Structure 1
């Protein structure tokens, strides 16, 4: 009973916690972390990155990222309350970028070489900020807490019924695999797709052509050549959508996004 109580209490707290509504897509998610806790974690993560990675001193690259980033930040508006925006370029061949709670955004020089236009860069920065405004990190933390608690409940019941340590370890391994393949990875792919949508919305609102997201991902496919040789198993175990699906989904969004972009261009 004591073990059941220790596991049940955090689960109950998670369920009682209020739902968060995505300001762009309207999707509701369950989070237990407060925005203040997320900002604190984000600040620590950014401090770690700046300690481990080389910050670029190239004035042209930094000016470009700040210029594009600030326009996206204005388009985000109150979707990220209290953000203290900071845009930093890191020297690395990684084709990558990130955004953290509180408004810390990092872009690697490898990505800047691939994102040849400001429109392409805007959709990438919008995508990363979308993860933050959607509170995907806090959502995953909550899911891990619930999954862990349910696993402990099942293990406790099995131990009481069977009492065989070997079968108990098999259960834990099987449960972890089922949760990862059956829920965590598919949900992670769904979060990536949601961030893709948010990224083109923010870019379009800021007056950047959202169609650039398609050209950027086409270049990513050409560079990585990952789609053609990716097996079904690899796709199943991937936390990101398959490249070809990503491009198809982005293409399907454009009839809705281009009018937003055209309207933004008319604003002074």
Structure 2
């Protein structure tokens, strides 16, 4: 009897945890979004208190301008912070938080290239990738400990919990998103930047610049856990016709961001 009850309970939880991503992919998600968002808020507060913030007003205005145009398509109130960090990185956390490293702004040539990265990171949040990964982790471990641990980032468990959100040890990446998540964020970001009035063709240029930043050695940090260069370009080109239509439609209704680096 108990065995049947537990089996029925497991089945019910599995069914209730079924979700669909913006691209139509089936997901296993059962963690409350309110808890995941709270973890994101706490993690972002930790970052702002422990990492150096950029005081470059041009960089801050540039990042704010690009992010504002993108999140206008998503809705909600988002906070954008530029961190003084030479690494080629950016991230978005549940709870509508966006972090951009100054090194990434140094690298990009224009607003469209920065939009490709920030759009990709917003794509992770839109697709609830942190929740999906946390749900998978807590399906075999205790979720309460992980949720509480995010407020203690100096501990090993705290780093693991923060890593599930997409950032980790020394605020790099220790528990990277899967290639499925990364590819999905690429496509969501491509569509998002196009609808916001950014030229989606620059996404390919951006990833090529990121790849070249490795100088033939190890790939740039941002790319280290992403699909291969050729796979990414192939996927972006496959979705480019639709993105260009979205882009032309955005221009036709006056969506023309003017963000200067």
Q: Give runs of aligned pairs for residues 14-93 of structure 1, distance below 5 A.
A: 14-23=13-22, 25-77=23-75, 83-93=76-86
Higher Cα Rg, which structure: 1
Structure 1 unaligned segments of length 5 or more: list them.
78-82, 150-184, 231-237
Counterparts in 2 of 1:192 and 1:243: CA distance versus 1, 3 Å: same
Match of 1:189 in 2: 179
Q: Distance in 2 between matches of 1:46 and 1:125?
A: 16
Q: Distance in 2 between matches of 1:87 and 1:30?
A: 29
Any conservation in 2 of the 1:97–1:108 contact (CA below 8 Å)?
yes
Counterparts in 2 of 1:30 and 1:47: CA distance versus 1, 3 Å: same
Any conservation in 1 of the 2:94–2:130 contact (CA below 8 Å)?
no
The answer to whether structure 1 residue 264 and structure 2 residue 257 are counterparts is no
Q: Distance in 1 between matches of 2:8 and 2:100?
A: 40
The TM-score normalised by the length of structure 1 is 0.73
Match of 2:110 in 1: 117
Any conservation in 2 of the 1:14–1:146 contact (CA below 8 Å)?
no
The answer to whether structure 1 residue 249 and structure 2 residue 249 are counterparts is no
Q: 1:17 offset after TM fit, Å?
A: 2.6
Q: Distance in 1 between matches of 2:215 and 2:8?
A: 47
Match of 2:205 in 1: 215
Q: 1:28 offset after TM fit, Å?
A: 2.5
Q: Distance in 1 between matches of 2:133 and 2:85?
A: 27
RMSD, aligned CA: 2.8
Query: Cα deviations across residues 202-221 of structure 1 (Å, max 9, x unaligned)?
Result: 00000000111100011111
Query: Cα deviations across residues 23-70 of structure 1 (Å, max 9, x unaligned)?
Result: 3x1223111111111110000110111122111111111111111101
Any conservation in 2 of the 1:69–1:125 contact (CA below 8 Å)?
yes
Any conservation in 2 of the 1:207–1:264 contact (CA below 8 Å)?
yes
Match of 2:196 in 1: 206
Q: Distance in 2 between matches of 1:264 and 1:91?
A: 33
Q: Distance in 2 between matches of 1:223 and 1:267?
A: 36
Q: Distance in 1 between matches of 2:28 and 2:43?
A: 23
* Residues matched between the structures, number: 217
Please identify, of 187-196 and 205-214, the stretch whose mean Cα deviation from structure 2 is larger: 187-196
The answer to whether structure 1 residue 141 and structure 2 residue 162 are counterparts is no
Q: 1:88 offset after TM fit, Å?
A: 0.7
Query: Cα deviations across residues 2-28 of structure 1 (Å, max 9, x unaligned)?
Result: 9x99x97995574143422223x1223
Q: 1:148 offset after TM fit, Å?
A: 5.3
Q: 1:257 offset after TM fit, Å?
A: 0.8
Q: Distance in 1 between matches of 2:125 and 2:17?
A: 18
Query: Cα deviations across residues 129-151 of structure 1 (Å, max 9, x unaligned)?
Result: 000010001111122233559xx
Query: Cα deviations across residues 194-249 of structure 1 (Å, max 9, x unaligned)?
Result: 000001110000000011110001111111146x889xxxxxxx742112211221
Any conservation in 1 of the 2:40–2:93 contact (CA below 8 Å)?
yes
Structure 2 unaligned segments of length 5 or more: list them.
143-174, 255-261
Any conservation in 2 of the 1:14–1:31 contact (CA below 8 Å)?
no
Q: Distance in 2 between matches of 1:86 and 1:101?
A: 11
